[in-house]
Amino acid sequence: MARFDETLVSRDEWLRRGAPDRLAIPTLYMAFDCLYAAGRDLRWLAFQARRDRLEDALHGHYLLFPARRLAPNGLAAWAEVLERGYEGLIAKDPASPYVGGRTRAWLKVKQPK
């Protein structure tokens, strides 16, 4: 869970300390995967196929968004994180099926504080 600023950048510290009073953004939901659709289990599909379904399902919503995609090249993606002031990124193998728990197919990289 995260809180978002007016540019839709997540601000996890606002969960701990509270968001500024001047911020008047409705609650938003950012989804990063689609595990089930139309009663079907999609966990066995490659992440890329699940992501495509997620984007189709959320198209046109104003409070539901797919999580942002960064450049496919890791160094270019990290440059975007630094430029935009993001907390970090999660690198995902687009061919990987969903696996609960920790996996080397998904790696979380955070900026040092």
Q: Write the pLDDT tens digit of every residue in 82-111.
A: 998 888 899 999 999 999 888 889 888 998
Q: Quick check: 31 and 64 in contact, CB under 8 A?
A: yes
Q: Give the CA angle between residues 100, 10, 3 to the nearest 5°.
A: 90
Is 108 strand, coil or helix? Answer: strand
Q: pTM here? A: 0.73
Q: Write the pLDDT tens digit of every residue in 11-57.
A: 666 556 655 655 546 677 888 899 999 999 999 999 999 999 999 99
* β 106-110/88-92 pair status: antiparallel
Tell me which CATH code domain 13-110 carries.
3.30.470.30
